[in-house]
Amino acid sequence: MSDTIRISICDPNEKGRENLKKFLVGMDRIWLEADSSRYEFFMQIVEQTNPDAVIIDLDSDENKAIQLISLIRESRPNCGVIAVSTRTDGPLILRVMRAGAGEFLNAPIQVDELLGALERVTKSTAGSQRAKSGSIIAVTGASGGIGSTTIAVNLACALAQNRSNNVVLVDLDLSLGDADIFLDTIPEYTILDVSQNIARLDLAMLRKSLTKHESGVYLLPRPMHLEDVDAISKDQFRKVLGLLKASFSHLVIDLSKSFHSLDMASMEMAEHILIVTQLDLPCLRNIVRILTSLEHHDGLLDRVKIIVNRIGLDKSFISISHAEETINRQIFWKIANNYAVIAEARNNGIPLVIGAPKAPITQQICELAEKLYGGGTQPPNVEPEGEKKEKKGWLKFLSKSQS
């Protein structure tokens, strides 16, 4: 299963329900959307959460459970239904299937059986239009200070200009990340808050934990304190990405330069891995080292795309053809040097699509977004006048502190 599957469960038996919840939480690419202890209330939960599949235990009251299955299939034909029971007699299975269940599993559930059942019910449901989960773009640099954060932030904002996209930017430079500065925001919650509460979050609560920028991008920033850098586990982070993939069409992750476990988890789940470089020998040497390391991870090299930044910074630098020969790989995209525009945008906390929409560098980043996904761009997704809230930004904070 390549996409995140959102599941709701109904089991009046508390012990059985809790065991099933623990079982599901530990499974990759599965998100537990909601659970219920009452057959009578479960239909309302399904209508509110609109899961991809439901798991209904029959043992507490077979008649009520089968009636619920029939109701779900009638009102939510795109929702896969899996029935679970300790009984395996033919008449019961026949009743369940006639009510509309796509799969019948014998309790206790086995991992491989559940995975197979989920795969089948989410593919075979009549008329199913389950939304494809979000695409991850991981952005890193061949060295520090070469503009990988600039590209990550502005690529996210460029993607968000297409109103059919919903985009989240994740700052994974846990020590010194500054995506919040680029967007001039002071977020209330960080990636640490979301990770530590992942077991209690649903899609609605997740959105409330993110900070929305006027460009349309949602931001999940790095932890507030340096001592919190090691407080996020790889398993927690993968669950965060799974929930974000279920909620957003595009995830842009600004990686650190340390290639720690969370960076690697991001690249393993990414559709595109953008490595930003300049045309100088230290950067090209580092690219060779990175590519050599990624060879040991199945499939990662095929997703790597080399982005050359600051073209024209120094005419004596290595040529594109020489760079491609050195790294034994074609350059995917080139972005011209335009320090004045970038510096002004960064210092004012305004992304290029808003602060300098006609600048050549802005167009190059928008064209990069279009080459990756197509669809073009539209004017910034600015909130209507009546919905604007007072902006809490670093620039306002600094101006107050200096007055």
- 104 lies in the same domain as 141: no
Q: Is 401 part of any domain?
A: no
- 112 lies in the same domain as 152: no
- 114 lies in the same domain as 158: no
What pLDDT, on a 0 to 100 scale, did the predictor assign at position 118? 85
- 29 lies in the same domain as 103: yes
CATH number assigned to the domain comprising residue 30: 3.40.50.2300
For residue 84, give the 3-state DSSP assignment: strand
Total structural domains within the chain? 2
Angle at 334 between CA 331 and CA 338, to 5 degrees: 155
- The DSSP annotation for 308-327 comes to EEEETS-TTSPPHHHHHHHH
- 242 lies in the same domain as 390: yes
Q: Is 130 part of any domain?
A: no
Structure tokens at 292: 């050599």
Average pLDDT, the chain: 86
- 18 lies in the same domain as 140: no
- 286 lies in the same domain as 160: yes
- 170 lies in the same domain as 54: no
In contact, 245 and 134? CB cutoff 8 Å: yes
Q: Is 403 part of any domain?
A: no
Cβ contacts of residue 192 below 8 Å, gap of 6+? 223, 224, 228, 231, 232
Angle, nearest 10°, between helix axes 62-75 and 39-49? 20
Q: Taking residues 207-221, what's their average pLDDT?
A: 92
| Whole-number Å distance between alpha carbons of 201 and 209 | 9
CATH number assigned to the domain comprising residue 330: 3.40.50.300
Res. 379: pLDDT tops 50: no
**pLDDT tens column, 68-127:** 999 999 998 889 999 999 988 888 998 999 999 999 998 888 887 888 888 888 775 544
- 173 lies in the same domain as 252: yes
Q: Is 19 part of any domain?
A: yes
- 165 lies in the same domain as 311: yes
**pLDDT tens column, 28-62:** 677 788 889 999 999 998 988 888 899 999 999 99
Q: Is 402 part of any domain?
A: no
- 53 lies in the same domain as 139: no
Q: Taking residues 292-311, what's their average pLDDT?
A: 94
In contact, 52 and 79? CB cutoff 8 Å: yes
Q: Is 129 part of any domain?
A: no
Looking at 75, 91, 124, which one is the last position of a domain? 124
Res. 393: pLDDT tops 70: no
Pairing of strands 211-212, 218-220: antiparallel
Looking at 94, 124, 154, which one is the last position of a domain? 124
Res. 321: pLDDT tops 60: yes
Q: Is 50 part of any domain?
A: yes
Range of the domain at 37: 5-124
- 112 lies in the same domain as 174: no
pTM of the model: 0.69
What pLDDT, on a 0 to 100 scale, did the predictor assign at position 389? 46
Looking at 61, 91, 124, which one is the last position of a domain? 124
